[in-house]
Amino acid sequence: MTERVVLAYSGGLDTSVAIGWIAEATGAEVVAVAVDVGQGGEDLNVIRQRALDCGAVEAYVADARDEFATEYCMPALQANGLYLDRYPLVSAISRPVIVKHMVRAARQFGAKTVAHGCTGKGNDQVRFEVATTSLAPELTSIAPVRDLALTREKAIDYAEKHDLPIATTKNNPFSIDQNVWGRAVETGFLEDIWNEPTKDVYSYTDDPTFPPVADEVVITFEQGIPVALDGVAVTPLQAIEEMNRRAGAQGVGRIDIVEDRLVGIKSREVYEAPGAMALIAAHQELENVTLEREQARFKKGVEQRWGELVYDGMWFSPLKKSLDTFVADTQKYVSGDIRLVLHGGRATVTGRRSEASLYDFNLATYDEGDAFDQSHAKGFIEIYGLAAKQAAARDERFGNGPDFGVGTL
């Protein structure tokens, strides 16, 4: 039986050419796998037929939008997943679900190798290949661009020579990856980090400089998951899509960042994630109301490590799974309503309410009805500061007391 290779197929020029390119370079038959994670564009049936027309022996297509939103975006929301405190892991969380379907297709069609269109400089090669070996250690991976010398110029020439049913152009200045959680744009003039993004960089968001009238939305959460918008029940996918629309209209979620890639280089990336950033802002504030102080403080460190692991392609790693368990436990009481005002590029929290709230008005108020016994404060401070007081006294005994020179106090 002829060897088979499963190819992550987008329907674009590079992966369409890769079908024949892989076949010629390896002698293997190619099975194209197209996974819809909310990137928009063409119908899956059109993509299926194009893959077959470009030489694939089989075409596996999957509508994974609900799966992606529920099993990947929602854990990212519960973890407040932000790499470098800013990037909501748009591409990073989509790779594991794509790989899951690639592994399924490999077993269905008897393939021993999977292929992807990544270069040797980016993060996605790691995400695809580590996820593959984590789910199916017996599979090997190849990358036509990295391993088989497929450049864009060669792809265009190949497509024209073989009359492939795909548009060829050398004019697109950007590399774009998008899904329902957001959109990532890089390369072209953006590689000069002094250059300001032009209007044509953006698609998911309108210019926040000239916003429409402010939009107020109430987001209802149950255990860290949005379940209703303005009282109307929604699925995770519907929540993201609707917040993309409403927050995007206000220019919320534009991110321009120089980030540290896993391979060791810095990269300038422009992201649009209106729904993700608005939902994360609301979720973080609901956690402020419902998480106990020490639990909340510890979760901040977990969130950072969780985001680094996901960014670095370790979605299926043992540590990531352990952190998932911790994050899920913290969400037990993260239920309630958050009121957001979307306007001029900002998602501003203006109201919070929760049956599980740890905010006690009678303890917090300075007015009549104050239930806090202030007589306890003096003794608390004495005990709280005792260790520091003892250390300061020792410093004095050894001549290492504070310097009260001019300008120090």
Known binding-site residues for ATP equal 8-16, 117
Can you read off the two tokens belonging to residue 9?
């197929």
The answer for residues whose C-beta is within 8 angstroms of residue 221's C-beta and 6 or more apart is: 227, 282, 283, 286, 334, 335, 336, 337, 338
| Residue of 95, 183, 246, 268 with catalytic role | 95
**Cα 104 off chain centre by:** 23
User: Can 124 be counted among the known catalytic residues?
Assistant: yes
DSSP 3-state percent helix, strand, coil across the chain (nearest 5) = 45, 20, 35
If we measure between CA atoms, which residue out of 164, 167, 156, 253 comes closest to residue 203? 253
- The span from the CA of 27 to the CA of 15, in Å, is 17
Q: Are 253 and 204 in contact (CB under 8 A)?
A: yes
Query: 109 — alpha (psi -120 to 50), left (phi > 0) or beta?
Result: alpha
Q: Tokens 């996820």 — which residue?
A: 131
| Residue of 4, 14, 36, 254 with catalytic role | 14
Q: Which residues are documented as binding site?
A: 8-16, 87, 117, 119, 123-124, 127, 175, 259, 271
- Altogether, the residues listed in the chain come to a count of 409
- The span from the CA of 231 to the CA of 84, in Å, is 33
| Residue of 53, 66, 104, 175 with catalytic role | 175
| Residue of 94, 124, 134, 246 with catalytic role | 124
- The span from the CA of 247 to the CA of 253, in Å, is 8
- The span from the CA of 187 to the CA of 53, in Å, is 30
Taking the CB of residue 302, how many other CB atoms lie within 10 A of it?
17
- The span from the CA of 315 to the CA of 91, in Å, is 12
User: Can 175 be counted among the known catalytic residues?
Assistant: yes
Taking the CB of residue 380, how many other CB atoms lie within 10 A of it?
9
User: Can 375 be counted among the known catalytic residues?
Assistant: no
Q: Tokens 């892989």 — which residue?
A: 22
- The span from the CA of 338 to the CA of 219, in Å, is 5
User: Can 335 be counted among the known catalytic residues?
Assistant: no
Phi/psi at 184 (nearest 5 deg)?
-120, 135
User: What is each CA distance from 105 to 100, 231, 323, in whole angstroms?
Assistant: 9, 40, 29
Q: Which residues form the catalytic set?
A: 14, 95, 124, 175
